[in-house]
Structure formats: structure tokens, C-alpha cells
Structure 1
Amino acid sequence: MILWIFLFLVGRIFAEECPYHGGNLVDDLMIVDWVDRRVNDPFPVQYNLLFQGGYINMPSARMECEGRIGIGYSSIPPYRLYNLRCQVTNFLEVSGNYRVFKGIPDPILSDFGFGNKADKGVNVKLSLLKPEDSLYKLPGIAIGAEDFLGTQTFKSKYVVVTHVLPDYNFEASVGLGAKRIKGWFGGALWMPWRHSCYRWLQPIALVAEYDATDTKHDPHPDGRKTQTPINFGLNYRFNDIFQFSANYIRGKAFAGSLSATYNFGYCEGFLPKIDNPPLHYPCCDDPIEKAFRKQKFSVHLIERGYKDLRITLQNKTYRTEDELLSRLRCLLAACIPCNISQVTIVLETDGFPIQEYHFPMEYVRQWSEGEICETELSVLVRRKEVCFPLHGTRTTLFSCPYEPFCFKLVPHTYTLFGSARGKFKYSLGVGAAVSGFLPTNIYYSAQVGYPLFTDLENVSDVDRLNPSQIINVRTDLIRYIKQRGVQLDEAYLQKGWNLGYGVFARLSGGYFERQYGGVASELLWYPLKYPFSFGAEAAILWKRDYSGLRFQHKIRKLNGFTPSYLSFTGSQYFFNFYYDWRAVDLDLKVKLGKFLAADWGARFEVSRYFPSGLILTLWYTYTNGKDMINGQTYYDKGVSLSMPLDIFYTYSCRKRFGFGMSAWLRDVGAISATGRPLYSLIREHR
């Protein structure tokens, strides 16, 4: 009943705005024009000083398009804020603030290289109804929470309603908050020159708000002084990327911000792919392996049966399956002899096959001659699990080993929040990596690093406020990265297998990371036809010395601030479950088992992937480890980002940039690297 009432009201609203008299072409065209203007000329979203959709200090119910990521800086006397934001979906906004208290030294940590007092917080806003959903005829409604993780010094929660009037270039909000946002608040925004003929005038937005911040209980003494709750200012958004703001707040101080955002989630690339080989390969008499090599494929094996070919190759260039199949279709149509009725393409990664494509050449040739379309051919090309032909039933036409040597320069970077008040520390340097394959397709990787810039010289590897009281499997990381000179980051071997029917396995051993080395194994069932998979993994690990190649056999454990050293051989083993929720572009992972600090529990990961290849991941770990911060049990949590680099290049490639960070550097829920995990390795190439 409620749904029918809602639909009736919406219908009446639209009917009043867009009258329709059947059979009148002019009215029909006016309706189309009205809808086009609403869809293609959306009212811009403005950011407040916390880098949320809003005004100055107060939020609104507005949301950006999903996939938009940004970085910014705000000055809100008496604080300086370094901000990040991400529009995870069209209805979920996440932002983070690293807040520095001006003129307030940390009573405990400032003497140890941590500077002024600081705090960090995470904000989230969930849209229940967006103004755009009704083409601005209905208001937007959102609920949100600020600083809901960590020390929660600036914690607040709110509900806000925003109505947008695009014909008047105006929006207004009213909301109700609790905690730091105390009681009723409101805001308004006007863009008087939005449709001006002068483009430099169009982005100007005048903003004003009623600020409900509870300044009487502000953590900073200078933040408790206020003369009026009315704030006002001016925003300027340039090229839909940069936003500048200048504001006058509390009747006594000037505030401002500078930010940059871009929709990396739907970015098709900043540069055209002019250096890619031509898509349509002309008919020629080149050997098949040479034709594939010209298209940037690495062919390792070509076998012939009675009337079929089996081509085993590695795709190290093309990131999407659509582009991969497009090039394979063109190659096969141009280069395969007419007496071959089927070609099987076996796709490999890290020395083992992961899946195969069956191309019926009769239909491939019909497609090349224009008799059937690409969509029809895509239905006829089957993707299947790898099958293994009987020995001696095929003739080898070509064989080439994997690349034995690949050298590259890589960043050598460590970042961490090293105290209970969120002090950000870093070490930046350069590294050199070499990888390749030994005989029998054993993968190897070795990497060394050299630190160039660091602010960790005076930082202790013991948290001065909340020292970890479980065995220190992670919190002594600072001892490792403070070492000078060239350091070995990793050096290990790994062998993978496809056991058939979607079952994969791997063994690895060596120096897996800066802190640990050992041996590890993994078994994974990852079928093609199901969205879920599961597996198991185990590792025996030894803790490395702070420098050099030797291992330690004892590990530190603190009682208060007093250290003791226990015998230690590390182990971790997990049962893993994965689910690819393709309807909403989410990848869900769960790890159940024993973590490195002998704590038992589960780690939950949610990854949002976008058409551009961007992947954003949030994780939360719940274990029985008793790690206390400020009197509360801490559970490891964090965020990571993985971005394809080919959006910046004039050619296709599969290289990625990855970065991740936990909320705090702690020992609970710790996991050591053990080589290249099977699920992510296979999923990336599928």
C-alpha cells in the first residue's frame, strides 16, 4: 500500500511539471528536452571542510557519482585537516580526516618525533533517497556518522534532508544530529551564475549554514570560542576536478580548503592507446607464434591434433576479457589455415593454465566475412575449465620457455599510524626487483630496497600510549625499516599447478617479506561456472633478523613496558571462502583460522571493483587476541586501493599500483605474506 501511494504521488508530481496530451508531438519533444536537461546537466555537488557532500561544517544529503576519489586539505581554526574521500557506490560515501591540533603538543609523544597532537577519523554517509532519483522533484534523504572509528573524539551522527531546485540554481538542507553535531542544523547553496555566458563565473557557489557543532566541549581550547552559529563563504569548482573554498566561521575565524577529485572508477584512460598494435591483423603467411607476438601475446606451446590447434599463451598486456577476445578473434581469422576446424586457446599465468577458450573456426571465418555479428560469435566461443589431452595424441609445432629474467625499478615505501592518536609516519625509497621462471616453470622473485627519506629516526617500536601486550609479530616493524643501507625485501620461489576440475595448488618458500620467511602451501577450488570458491592455506614462518639474512628464534612480548623474549616459530593457517557478487560488483572474502600472533578468528574483506579496473577494499578482523587501545579491545581494520596503470599510458598493460594501510600498527589479526595468493592471481587474469 505504501508503495502504491508513493508511486501515485510521484506520478502526480511529474504530471504537474510535465503535462502530456497524447498525440501532440511538440509536448512529447518538450518532455524529452526536460528529462535530458535533468539527466545531462546535474546540479553540482559541493564538499564541506571535512570533504563530505555538504556546505562548510555541516553535511548535506548530496552524493557524487560512484567511483569518484579525492584528496584535499582544510584549515578549520584551530585545526589542520588532511582529507581523503571515495564514492564507493551511488548511495555510499566514505571519507577520512587526519586532524592536527594547532599549537597543542602531544603531552607524551611530541618528544619522540610525533609533532603536535593529532587525531584521525573515518566518516560514512548512506543515501536513502537521492534528489537525482526523482529528477530533483523529491528531496534527498541521508543518514551519516562522523569519526565512528578510532578514538571517536569528534564523533557525531545525523540525518539530513536536502532539496535541490536546479531551475533556481539553489539547494537547501535541514538535519538533526547528535553528539558533536548537536541538535538541528541547516545549510543553503546558491550558484547565481551557473548558466552565465562567462564560463569562469559558472562554478561560483555561495554557501551559508547554521552550524550545530557543540563547541563548548571542543577538544581544542581555541575551538570553544564562538560568537555566532552562522557560517558563510564561497566555493569555486574548476573543471569538475578542483574545488577551492573560503569561509568565515563562528563569527571570528577564516577557514578554507583545497581539494581534487576524479572519477577513476569509470575512467577510460587519460591518453588514447595509440601505441597498441592494430586490432585487425591482415591475412599473411607469418608463423602463428610471430603473429601472436606482434599482438603482445607470449606463446609458450602450439600443438596440433587431427583438425584442431591448441595454443598455450600468457596475456601480459590486455586487462579486460573483451579486449583479449577481440584480438584473438582477429588473429585466428587471419592466421589459422582453412583445414583447421577448431582452435583452443589455453590461458596461463605464473606457469600454470587457468582456463581455455574454444573457437569454432567455421563461425570465426563467417564473422570475418560479415555473415554473423560479434555478439553472435561471442555466444559460440566457449570458456571452459582446462582439460589435459592424453600424452602422444598431439604433435608439438612450437615450444618456448617462460621468460627467465625481468628487471624493474619499484618504490620502496612504508607508511603507518604508529600511536593511539594516529600519528602518520613514513619511509620512502627506491627498490630493484627481478623475477622470472626457472626450469619446470618455477617462479622466482627477489627485491631489494634502499630508503631515501624517512621521519622514523626518533620513533620507538613500542607504542608510548598503548603498548601491545601480545607477542610482537608486527609492532617491531619500525626496527626493520629504520635500518640503513640496502635491505633484502623478498626472495622466494613458487610453483603452481592446475589439478583439473577447477582445483589449483601452490607451494612457496623463501624470504616472503621484510619480517618473515618460511614455507607455505595453498589449495583452491575456483570453478568457472560458479561465483563462489573456497580453499585452504598454511604456512610455517620464521622471523627475520632486523638486518641481514639470518632468522631470529625468539620474539618480544611486553608486560606493561617491560620486555621478555619467548621462543617462537610462527604459523598461520586458514580456511578461505570467496564470493564474486557480480550484480553489485563486489568481491567478498572470509578467512577463518589461526593468525600469526596465535590468535584465532576471522578476517572479512569487501572489495568494490569498477569498470576502469580500480579496486577498493575494506577489511575487518575479529579474533580472540586481547589487544587493548585506550581501554577497549582493538580489532585490526584497514583499507587498500589497487589501480591499473594503463589509464596513464598510450598502450595497454596489466601493471597495477597498490596501497593499503591498517588503522593502527598492531599485532592482533596479523598475517604474513606467503608469495602470490592463488585467488587474486587467477581472478586478475580471468
Structure 2
Amino acid sequence: MSDLIGKKLTVLGAGVVASVCTAVPLFSQDAPEISTGYNSYGYPGMIDMPVATSRPDGELAFSVSHFAGQTRNTLTFQILPRLSGSFRYSVLDNILSEGTETLYDRSFSLHYRIADETDLRPAFAIGLNDFLGTGVYSSEYLVATKTFGTSVRVSGGIGWGRLGGAGGFSNPLRIFDNRFKTRPARDAGEGGEVEAEQFFRGDAAFFGGIEWQATDRLRLTAEYSSDDYPREDPSAFQRDIPLNFGATYTVSPGIDLSLRYLYGSEIGVQLTAAVNPKNRPHASGRAPSPPPVMPQTSAAALSWGDMLESRDSLRQQLSGALNRQGIRLHGFKLNRTSVRVEIENDTYRKQAQAIGRTARVLSRRMPARIETFSIVSVAKGMPISETRIRRSDMEALEHELDGSWQSFARAQIASPVSLTQPVPDRYPNFDWSLKPYLTPSFFDPDDPLRADAGAEISARFEPLRGLEFSGSIRKKVIGNLDESTRESDSVLPRVRSDFNLYDKEGDPALTELTAGYYFKPGKNLYGRATVGYLERMFGGISTELLWKPNDSFFAIGVETNYVRQRDFDQRFGFQDYDVVTGHVSAYSELGNGFHAQVDAGRYLARDWGATISLDREFGNGWKIGAFATFTDVSFDDFGEGSFDKGIRITVPTSWLTGEPNKDGFSTTVRSLTRDGGARLDVNGRLYDRVRPLQKPALQDGWGRFWR
């Protein structure tokens, strides 16, 4: 009887799709172009089912969908033009099989477009849903999508797991191996494990649907769903039919609102907000225009000829001109036909822009006989790279159509072999700032979203080249991080899992108070030694040595630390726990903005292992990445989540305002905060100071040399 009902519903679904098709003018030349939406699970799809198309490369989207007591919060990143990844945090009420009224679930998904659509062939995509979590939404799929005209799109596919429940049949992959016929039960554990033996196993089922872009803003959808909601029906809602209907309205670019009628019994809503780091709100920015290049033969340039003996006056005028460009003069040396300047760039995100503006200023301030400009990029007092530019090239290429590429081809970029004496007014130097801060906390089951906001005062004193004293104090103004009452159940040393005690007792908090020394012991070597209260939970001494050749895409670093755990009030006391920790790190630039990092060594809880990280950095400063840490701590001892993993995002302030600066907001989204795989969070690590100033990064950003 149930099979007969299922067949009738399948016919009904096909009839609905056919009816919509006949009602839509498929090949209207004036029809709006259909766009790809996000389904209720937050990855490219219709309502519950997937599609084979993708969102634009680099897009970051956050979606919230709700129906029948289920709320799914999903963060999705289009990692590559064909590949997207999603992290989902779901709140499920009345899940009968879990034996609890509410389940808080974390899950990950991947969606990969195998083939693009052509005139004759549909697009194809494959996906894994909840492949790294508790398995509540565990499923796999293969889907095809074909567009008719510009405004109608039909998708159909086959699913396994949850997507193989409604109208299921024996797995066709069994012809390759009988093991595909049955789907093994998921291991009971702490979650967070990849159980690949389940992939594409067990019964399969067909799904499909049609989408119509009725107007530029309105998209209508009808789908036949193969998800039978095994844990939610009938405890959370009654699934009467396998059909869903929806309408999606684009409120404004990047913001979609969807209303849905689901399974013959429920109303659902979804809000999606998407942003693409590639699309700048302020185009190329709102930086002040750079000064024009001064021709070497102009009377103004020649007038400097009698000032060669007054180098102090020349240096002071140069320093003032650079300051007006947001660049600090660190060192100055004038020779007969060349000048060498060391600069510090705290304004422009691309170092090439700072170099270009420095060269323009030099063309206007240097005597006419000076032909070669040597511009040394300095960070923390260390000379990182030296860019040599001929004055005549500046004059010849300023207005050339391909002047950017030609100027890079003619420039000489190398690692400095000597130091220039700092200018007299550079040291000692004292800076301070007062700014707001925001500290979010995610996924506490008692309150999944908490946050503190307040004021942070920071100060930095540099008495000598490479020597820096710094500190910061935070005072909360508003927030609820201190309201968390969850106690750590960790069997490991509690190096991170007591984080809520730091939130509760640390107000105000001395988050950092350190002395750091930065030096360059060799041509391709960089060093750091930092002592003090290194972060809010640990203090001690941290040392680091980095090998990074100027023209290399690869680097190796070694870090060692001896630290003691700080008191929860984050003032001047320590607890009894201490540890020696450290890592050997390998860094590699993979191209297209991707950066890979592997850190192997000992962590704060005295566990040994490695962290694998992959980040994508956009030219405007956006950075989105993911990491996972595996150590000798067993999954059971680690606790819920099995191992440390997370997503990190950096949003540059300049992207939002258009004004040139290097500030930004960074956050790390972890599924859980546990003690295994915890690493010291010390400021000033060398790789991020050195890499942006070296040749590969300069080449990537040289398009802004003339800006």
C-alpha cells in the first residue's frame, strides 16, 4: 500500500513539474536570467534538494532557514569556481531518536561541480552532506541541471543516506561491489569523524525539481524531495507528501528572502545574505591621489643641485612628504647618483602601492643627479626586501598603458644585505590607540551566540631598532560572555576549555604585556624573541626563527615557548600549570591567493601532533580559511568533536570604507573549544610580517604601484 502511495505521489510530482514547464515561456528572449540559490541546508540548491550549478567564485554566504522547529544556520564559501564548502549549526527540536527535546548539531558539507552545462549536456555535480559531524543530515548525491532559455532550470539526481529515503530502491552501485548495497550504521562516538565507509552506500532515491525566474527579483521553485526526515517525522512534524514549493525574492543585491510550503504540512522561511570579497563596495578605493612624477630635467628638480651638502634638510623634507602619503621614513642614505631609503608602511594593504608612492615622492624631492632609488621595505625594524627603481623608468612609464607590468619588469627586487642607520627622529617612539572591540562566542548549547563589546586601549614603545614593548587592556561595556555556566569535562589539562572563567573574572583584563625583539641574523633568516603576558591565558617566553628567501614561495619556521597559565582575572598572577611547547612550520604559496601551512610539534596540553591549514587571501585583504589539528590525544579523550577544527575569516576595514588602512576584523569559528590541539596565540609571528613585503607578494600587488 505504501509503495502504491509513493508511486502516485511520484506521478503527482512529475505532473506538477510538467504543468509548470508548459506554463512557462521557455525560450523568451526577454526573460530574466536565472540565478543559483541556496537551499535550506545552505549549499547550492532549490528548497531541500541540490542543483548542479554553483555560486560565483569567492562568494561567502550566511543563510538561516526555519521550519517545524528546525533552524539551520549555514556559512558557505565558494572555495573555487567549482567547489563550495559549508559549515552548519542546527537547532532541532523534538528529535525523537536522540532522546532529548532539543539537539544542537554541527555539520560540514562539500559541493563540487564536475562538469559545466553545454548546449546539449547538463551540468553535473557531486556532494557530501554532513560528512564531518554527528551524521544527522548525512547524505550524498549526484545531480544534473539543465537550463532552458534564460529563465527556466530543471534539476534531477540520485541521493543516498537521508536523500535515499523517500521512494528508495536498491543501490545501483551494487553492480560494482556488493558492499554498496547496505549502509553501515554510524559509529557511536563524539562526532566529528569522517566515516567514509558510509559514502554512497545503502538505498538510493531520485529527486528533482524546476525553477523559474519569473522576474529579475522573483524566483519560483517546485521540487520532489527524496528526504524522508527519518528522525523528525512524526516527532517534529508530519511529512504528508514529498513535494515542496517555494518563492525567493531578492530584497537587494546579495540578500534573498524565501517563503516555502513543505511536505504538505509546514511553512518555512529562509534569509540568505551573500558577499563576494572580489567586489569592492568602493571600486578601487578612496585613497588620495598620489603626487605626479617630477621630470629629472625640470627646473624644480634641478634647483636641488645646490642642496647636496644639506642632507639633514633634504631628509626632513622627504620625511614630511612621505608622512603625508601615510608612509614613515625609517632610514635615509644619499650617495652621488643614488639614494637608499627605508620605509615603514602602516597605511596601504599592498606594499607595492607604498613603494610606488615613495618613488614618486623621491622623484620630486631628490636632486636631479640622483638616478637610482633603492627603497627598502622594513617591518619591526627588520629590512625585508629592497626594490631598486631607475628614475628615468619612472618618467618614461608613468603614462604608459602597460606601465605597471613594464615597471615591475625593470625593477630589481632582492633581499637587503646591509642596514641603513635609522633617521634621528625615528627612535625612541611611542604610539597608543583607543578603539572598540568585539569578541563573539559560538555554539554554547545554553546560548549558541554570545558576545562582549567594549573598549581596548593599546600602547607601543620602541626605544631601539627591533625592540618593542607593547600592551593592551580591555574593559567590557556590554555583553554576556560571563553568563556561561558550563563546566569543563576535559580529561586533559584545561588549557582552553575553562575559557568562560576568563570571561567571567577578567574585567578589566590585561590581555597582553610583552617585550619583543626582532632581528635578522642572515640574508634569508628572521628572528623573534618575546617575553611577558603573551595572550590572555598564558605568559612566558616565545622564540622564533624563520627561513624565507626573498623570491621563494616556500618558508620554514621553528618556534619554541616556555609558558605558564595565567590567573583567570588576567592581571598579574599565574597558576601552577606550565609547559614547554613549540612547532616546526612549513609555509607554501599555492597560487590564486591560496596559502598552505603545516605546523608540527607539541601543544599546550602536552599533546604532540600537527595542524593543517589552508587559507585563501584576496587582493583587497579578505582572508578565509580552514584548519584541522590531529594529535596523539584519542578522539574519546579529546571529547565532543573528536579533534580541533575551525574556520577563520578576516575582513579588512579598507574594503568597507574605501579608505587606505591595514586594520581589519578577524574571528575564528570553532565547532567546539576543547583542550587537545591548542596552540599558543602569540602576536608578532614572523611569516605574516615577512611574506607581504617580499617579491612574490609585491608582484601580485604591483597593479597598485601607480595608485
Letter in 2 for 1:170: V
- The 5-angstrom pairing of residues 17-28 of structure 1 reads none
Counterpart in the other structure of 1:487: 509
Partner residue in 2 for 1:93: 84
Match of 2:226 among 212, 216, 231: 212
Q: Which stretch of structure 1 is more off in the superposition, 620-629 or 67-76?
A: 620-629
Unaligned runs of 5+ in 2: 1-28, 165-203, 305-313, 695-707
**Residue of structure 2 in register with 1:525 after alignment:** 547
1:119 maps onto 2:105 in alignment: yes
Equivalent residue for 2:159? Answer: 177
Cross-structure match for 1:609: 617
Residues 204 and 340 of structure 1, relative CA distance in 2, 3 Å threshold = same
Residues of 2 paired with 1:321 and 1:94: CA distance? 31
Match of 1:148 in 2: 131
Partner of 2:668: 660
Q: Deviations over 1:443-485 (max 9, x none)?
A: 23222222321155252232xxxx2211111111111111263
Of 454, 463, 474, the residue aligned with 1:449 is: 474
For residue 235 of structure 2, give the secondary structure of its aligned residue in structure 1.
Answer: helix
Residue number in structure 2 paired with 1:580 = 589
Aligned to 1:410: 436
Q: Which residue of 2 aligns with 1:82?
A: 73
Please say if residues 524 and 548 of structure 2, whose CA atoms lie closer than 8 Å, have aligned partners that are also in contact: yes
Distance 2:367 2:416 in 1: 24
Partner of 2:290: 278
Query: What CA distance in whole angstroms lies between the structure 2 residues aligned with 1:572 and 1:659?
Result: 24
Letter in 2 for 1:161: A
Query: How far apart are residue 155 of structure 1 and its match?
Result: 1.2
Q: Distance in 1 between matches of 2:595 and 2:283?
A: 29
2:611 aligned partner, one-letter code: R
Distance 2:544 2:421 in 1: 33
Q: 1:186 to 1:548 in 2, by over 3 A?
A: closer
Q: Deviations 1:180-205 (Å, cap 9, x if unpaired)?
A: 11133333333354xxxxxxx32211
RMSD between aligned residues: 3.0
Query: Which of 682, 685, 694 is the equivalent residue of 1:677?
Result: 685
Partner-residue secondary structure (3-state), 1:328: helix
The residue aligned with 2:606 is 598
Instruction: Note the C-alpha offset of 1:650.
Output: 3.9
Question: How do 1:364-443 residues align onto structure 2 when only pairs under 5 Å count?
Answer: 364-368=394-398, 373-388=403-418, 400-401=426-427, 403-418=429-444, 424-441=448-465, 442-443=467-468
**How much has 1:384 moved relative to structure 2?**
0.8
Change (3 A) 1:410 1:601: same
Pair 1:128-2:114 in alignment: yes
The one-letter code sitting in structure 1 at the alignment partner of 2:426 is C
Residue in structure 1 matching 2:497, options 465, 475, 479: 475
| 1:16 aligned partner | none
Q: Do the aligned residues in 2 keep the contact of 1:512 with 1:674 (CA within 8 Å)? A: yes
Q: How many Å separate the matches in 1 of 2:458 and 2:213?
A: 58
**Structure 1 residue aligned with 2:366:** 336
1:259 and 2:241 are equivalent in the alignment: no
Q: 3-state DSSP class of the match of 2:163?
A: coil
Aligned to 2:141: 158
Quick one: structure 1 residues 48 and 396, their matched pair in 2 at CA, closer, same or farther if it must change by over 3 Å?
closer
Distance of 1:435 and 1:642 partners within structure 2: 23
**1:307 is the counterpart of 2:306:** no
Rounded Cα–Cα distance in structure 2 between residues aligned with 1:624 and 1:611:
37
1:406-439 Cα offsets, whole Å, 9 max, x none, are 21313141414346xx962423121313232321
1:396 deviation in Å? 8.2
Change (3 A) 1:414 1:684: farther
SS at the partner of 1:45?
A: coil
The equivalent of 2:256 in structure 1 is 243
Letter in 2 for 1:290: G
**Residue 105 to residue 223, structure 1, CA distance change in 2 (3 Å):** closer
Kept in 2, the 8 Å contact 1:49–1:57? The answer is: yes
Aligned-pair CA distance for 1:328: 3.1
Question: 1:371: Cα distance to partner?
Answer: 12
Q: Retained in 2: the 8 A contact 1:332–1:364?
A: no
1:85 is paired with a residue whose SS is: strand
Q: Relative to 1, partners in 2 of residues 1:548 and 1:658: Cα closer, same or farther, differing over 3 Å?
A: closer
In the TM superposition, residue 86 of structure 1 has moved relative to its aligned partner by 1.4
Contact 2:525 2:545 survives alignment (8 Å): yes
Aligned letter for 2:490?
A: S
Q: CA deviation at 1:256?
A: 1.3
The one-letter code of the counterpart of 1:61 is A
User: C-alpha deviations, 1:216-264, integer Å up to 9, x for none?
Assistant: x225753462111011121122443111111111111111111111212
| SS of residue paired to 2:505 | coil
Shift, 1:624, TM fit: 0.2
2:255 maps to amino acid? F
- Contact 1:303/1:398 (<8 A) preserved: no
User: Residues 318-333 of structure 1 correspond to what in structure 2 (within 5 A)?
Assistant: 318-333=348-363
Matched, 1:507 2:537: no
CA distance in structure 2 between the partners assigned to 1:514 and 1:154 by the alignment: 37
Q: Which residue in 2 is equivalent to 1:189? A: 210
How far residue 330 of structure 1 moved from its aligned partner, in angstroms, is 2.4
- Aligned residue among 613, 621, 629 for 2:629: 621
Q: What is the match of residue 316 of structure 1? A: 346
Is residue 571 of structure 1 aligned with residue 577 of structure 2?
Answer: no
Matched, 1:459 2:485: yes
Conserved 8 A contact 1:60-1:162: yes
- Aligned twin of 2:653: 645
Query: Mind listing any 5+ residue stretches in structure 1 that lack a counterpart?
Result: 1-36, 111-115, 194-200, 555-567
> Which residue does the alignment assign to 2:42?
51
TM-score under structure 2 normalisation?
Answer: 0.80
Give the distance between the partners of 2:460 and 2:634, measured in 1 at CA: 42
Determine if the alignment matches structure 1 residue 226 to structure 2 residue 239.
yes
- Structure 2 counterpart of 1:10: none
Q: CA 1:176–1:372 in structure 2 vs 1: closer, same or farther (change >3 Å)? A: closer
Following superposition, the deviation at residue 270 of structure 1 comes to 3.1
Q: Deviations over 1:350-377 (max 9, x none)?
A: 2222111111223334335879944323
**Distance of 2:354 and 2:506 partners within structure 1:** 45
For residues 122 and 333 of structure 1, do their structure 2 counterparts lie closer, same or farther at Cα, with a shift above 3 Å needed? same
Q: Once the 2 structures are TM-superposed, how far is the Cα of residue 161 of structure 1 from its aligned partner?
A: 1.2
The count of corresponding residues between Structure 1 and Structure 2 is 607
8 Å CA contact retained: 1:207, 1:232 = yes
Structure 1, 141-150 or 538-547: larger mean CA deviation: 141-150
Change over 3 Å in CA distance of 1:569–1:148 after alignment to 2? same
In the alignment, the residues of structure 1 paired with residue 116 and residue 531 of structure 2 have an alpha-carbon distance, to the nearest angstrom, of 52
Deviations 1:95-121 (A, max 9, x none): 2222122467999999xxxxx532222
Query: C-alpha separation between the residues in 1 aligned to 2:354 and 2:365?
Result: 16
Measure the CA separation in 2 of the matches of 1:651 and 1:487.
31
Instruction: Note if 1:541 corresponds to 2:571.
Output: no
More divergent stretch after superposition (303-312 vs 532-541):
303-312
Question: Residues of 1 paired with 2:33 and 2:360: CA distance?
Answer: 41
Q: In 2 relative to 1, CA 395–371 (structure 1 residues): closer, same or farther, beyond 3 Å?
A: farther
Distance in 2, matches of 1:77 and 1:253, equals 7
Q: TM-score, normalised by structure 1?
A: 0.82
Equivalent-residue separation in structure 2 for 1:531 and 1:238 (angstroms) = 43
